[in-house]
Amino acid sequence: MHALEQHAKELFKKDLANLSDAETYKVLLDYVQEQMINSPVNQGKKKLYYISAEFLVGKLLTTNLINLGLYDEVSQVLEANGKSLHDVEKAETEPSLGNGGLGRLAACFLDSIASLGINGDGIGLNYHFGLFRQVFRDNQQASVPDEWLNHPNWLVKTETSYEIPFRHFNFKSSLYEIEIPGFEQKAHNRLRLFDLESVTSDIIEADSINFDKMNIPQNLTLFLYPDDSDYVGNLLRIYQQYFMVSNAAQLIIEEAKAKGSDLHDLYDYAVVQINDTHPAFIIPEFVRLLTTYHGFEFKEALAVIEKTVAFTNHTILAEALEKWPMAYIDEVVPEIAKIIRQLDEEIRSRYPDKEAVQIIDQDDRAHMAHIAIHFSFSTNGVAKLHTEILKNSELKPFYELYPDKFNNKTNGISFRRWIMAANPELTQLLDEKIGQDWHKDADLTAFEKEIDQADSLKRLQEIKHHNKLQLQEYLSDQQGVQLHDNAIIDVQIKRLHEYKRQQMLALYIIHKYLDIKAGNLPSTPITILFGGKAAPAYTIAQDIIHLILCLSELIAKDPEVSPYLQVIMVENYNVTSAEKLITAADISEQISLASKEASGTGNMKFMLNGALTICTLDGANVEIAERVGEDNIYIFGQDSETIVKLYETGDYHRHLADYYHRERIKPLVDFIVSDELLALGQHDRLYRLHEDIKYKDWFMALIDLEEFIDVKEKVYADYEDQESWTKKALINIAQAGYFSSDRTIQDYNQDIWKI
């Protein structure tokens, strides 16, 4: 009897064959968990600590089985018992511990760090309800708690606990862990998530994500990114961040000491990578711990910290650069406020005439990125273009001070998840054609020789078609919509934000709708899918979702249009739905306003799965284009230099009315407040969005709209020649190797971590 069958007996007193999928999942969870707990944890003098507010890990069963080398064996045992992994996996709930690209990047990194055998853990928080779960009601987004912890999960509780001192509280934390196995590695790493036992869902109002924000003992780790539109919401964010980093710093110091460090050599035992500024309070926290408990002088502590901490920047949007009023920090953790003032004095004495690099500004706010850059040894951007923009504009005064600290680490994605787990059939085809070395080295270039092999092209088409059927099944299960058969699948999935310009694709949909109404019928039906959440306090993003949902309904109800065009907004977009959408996609929408998307990582996942990209030259799109060549990607729009200048001069916004009044643009924008849409939607939302685009358009959707429409028509026309299309897809797959997160992590390790 296989160990799995044994487990089924022990756990449920039944034969494996007689278990429900949910019960089978539980058996598998226990079985895999046991294998991991019994395998050694990575050891070694120096260790990486990757600290992040988000870890968007997704379902873990399949990737764990792949990494542990159990996938085939387990699939066979299940099959012998009349089950499929595909069905059993449906019973797994994905942890709600992240929000978007930064969190998913952290998850891909954990996989690559473990797979390269690097000694390194993730550290974060165990949010009980994570980010909200998105539901659609009346064509609008509503937010409800995501109860992921109520389902069987991979968390293991440990005995580890630290005291975390706030002004008004003294908390004792608990540490939970998720084991992170590497691909074909003996030893594993861990994701370590801190929590507070007194936190309770009792304080959440029914059917909402509202709760008493002042009740810190009961709310501290309830939600990721609690609404921070008011004072108490801001304080809660500081409470969370400090709780995360004080735990992290205490753990790091304890582990280093256990290995023989006297802490004056901490950097020989630990390297701390902070994922954006959310964990930047770890710098003053290290100062506090080293000076209070370990006999360090202030400057002595700084000298050690500056060699231990490294910082990654993920955005140049001003709104996302954290600046905390000193009074707030004082209210939450006065000792940290005091240390930040000392850090500010230190920088003022080092660089007396450089106001731009000071830590505390004239409004008495602490700039977290400034702390992170001054007191770390490395600052990196996440794509070539992004890093250049940081050096030459956003962070220029810092680059002038520290040219050697700045470096680029172009993002990457885990091939274990984004092809081996998500697209088993493409994996199979690649294995047949180029062998299995790519599982380890991510080199897919040999696949390019298949470009003249009719059977390979046909297989690619069949795989895409099959993945579309899987997506059809998924959407029908999840939200009861029926995906068109044989449509072009055109996908934009990412957080809702004006700079990502979902509104521009919505305007294109209006164009296409009106065009079909005018009798111009597409040869192949087009299905445009969106997925993404809007921050609850981000009104215009909510309005854009509303517009998309209204368009979706309008088109679905119009028998003249619906056979040719379908618009679907996927509810509660997450890692699981991403896997289905990306593998089924023909077209990848990467249409951000140039200069605004730091990198993007979805762009890489689509490419790897054979979708063609329509994009602006932004973030990592630039590097994708470099690799596939201009014949195999669709580029449009103003470039980043032009856009940066337009913001400087104000020229675009001064002339916005001219764009709006263009013959091809005005009817599309005005359709937002047409009778047809007003009949389906909320007047205030539609009028607000209409006004926003007409009079403000801060992220310049209209500047690129006409060119976007033209390129989209070309893309759809090109799709009609399936042979040439599939060849382009093949080149995209073959060129995706550079975007493996294994390459990214090797770069981090070589240049920054040195483990």
Applying CB under 6 A, which part among 30-38, 95-103, 149-157, 572-580 lies near ligand 26Q?
Answer: 95-103
| CA pair distance 253, 301, nearest whole angstrom | 13
Question: What is the C-alpha separation between 489 and 483, in angstroms, rounded?
Answer: 10
- Let me know if 494 is a catalytic residue: yes
Closest to ligand 26Q by CB, 276 or 704: 276
Positions 211 through 230 that interact with ligand 26Q (CB under 6 A)? 225, 228
Residue nearest ligand 26Q by beta-carbon distance = 101
Q: Which of 221, 601, 726, 744 is catalytic?
A: 601
Name the catalytic one among 494, 497, 501, 743.
494
Least distance (Å) between residue 176 CB and ligand 26Q: 22
Specify which residues 589 forms β-bridges with.
614
Q: What are phi and psi of 523, to 5 degrees?
A: -70, -40
> 120 vs 424, which CB is nearer to ligand 26Q?
120
Residue from 329, 506, 598, 622 binding ligand 26Q (CB under 6 A): 598
Measured from the CB of residue 556, what is the shortest distance to ligand 26Q in angstroms?
31
Q: Looking only at residues 97 through 156 of this chain, which bind ligand 26Q when binding is defined by CB under 6 A?
A: 99-102, 105
Q: Based on CB atoms, which residue is closest to ligand 26Q, 225 or 239?
A: 225
Nearer to ligand 26Q, 88 or 332 (CB): 332
Between 324 and 652, name the residue whose CB sits nearer to ligand 26Q: 324
Taking CB under 6 A as the criterion, which residues in 152-211 touch ligand 26Q?
A: none
Give yes or no for a contact between 97 and 127, defined as CB atoms under 8 angstroms apart: yes
Question: Max Cα separation, the chain?
Answer: 80
Angle, alpha carbons 534-692-386 (nearest 5°)? 60
Residue 154's CB is within 10 A of a number of other CB atoms, namely 21
Query: For residues 115 and 599, which CB has a smaller minimum distance to ligand 26Q in the complex?
Result: 599
* Token representation of residue 688: 């607000």
Q: Which residues contact 295 (CB under 8 A, 6 or more apart)?
A: none
Using CB under 6 A, which of the segments 120-128, 154-162, 593-601, 734-742 binds ligand 26Q?
A: 593-601
Q: What is the CA radius of gyration of the chain?
A: 26
Six token digits for residue 35: 């294998």
Kindly state the smallest distance separating residue 327's Cβ from ligand 26Q, in Å: 17
> Is 160 a residue of the active site?
no
Residue 504 C-beta: closest distance to ligand 26Q, Å = 17
Measured torsion, CA atoms of residues 511, 516, 521, 525, in degrees rounded to the nearest 10: 70
Binding mask 316-335 for ligand 26Q (x = CB under 6 A): ----x-x-------------
User: Is residue 232 involved in binding ligand 26Q (CB under 6 A)?
Assistant: no
- How far lies 391's CA from each of 372, 379, 410, 465, 699, in Å? 15, 10, 15, 44, 22
- Tell me if 435 sits within 8 A of 450, measured CB to CB: no
Residues 6 or more apart whose CB falls under 8 angstroms from that of 494 comprise: 100, 101, 500, 531, 532, 600, 602
Q: Which lies closer to ligand 26Q via its Cβ, residue 322 or residue 394?
A: 322
Helix (H/G/I), strand (E/B), else coil: 189: strand
Q: How many CA atoms lie within 13 A of 421 on its CB side?
A: 29
Any idea which residue has 């920054």 for tokens? Answer: 752
Contacts of ligand 26Q in 251-290 (CB under 6 A) = 276
Which residues within the stretch 55-94 sit at the binding site for ligand 26Q (CB under 6 A)? none
Closer of 374 and 533 to ligand 26Q (Cβ): 533
Among 95, 536, 619, 637, binds ligand 26Q (CB under 6 A): 619
Active-site annotation holds for 654: no
Cβ-based nearer residue to ligand 26Q, 26 or 500: 500
Q: Please say if 666 is a catalytic residue.
A: no
Q: Residue 236 corresponds to which tokens in the numbers above?
A: 């809660």
Total number of residues that touch ligand 26Q (CB under 6 A) = 20
59 given a catalytic annotation: no
**Residues 146, 576: Cα–Cα separation, whole Å:** 14
- C-beta of 274: minimal distance to ligand 26Q in Å? 13
Q: Are 248 and 279 in contact (CB under 8 A)?
A: yes
Among 382, 509, 570, 730, binds ligand 26Q (CB under 6 A): 382
Nearest to 389 by CA among 619, 561, 159: 619
DSSP state for residue 721 in the 8-state scheme: S
For residues 393-422, which are near ligand 26Q according to CB under 6 A?
A: 411
Tell me how far apart the alpha carbons of residues 433 and 425 are, in angstroms, rounded to a whole number.
Answer: 12
Which residues are at the interface with ligand 26Q (CB under 6 A)?
99-102, 105, 225, 228, 276, 314-315, 320, 322, 382, 411, 597-601, 619
What amino acid positions are annotated as catalytic residues? 314, 494-495, 500, 601, 605
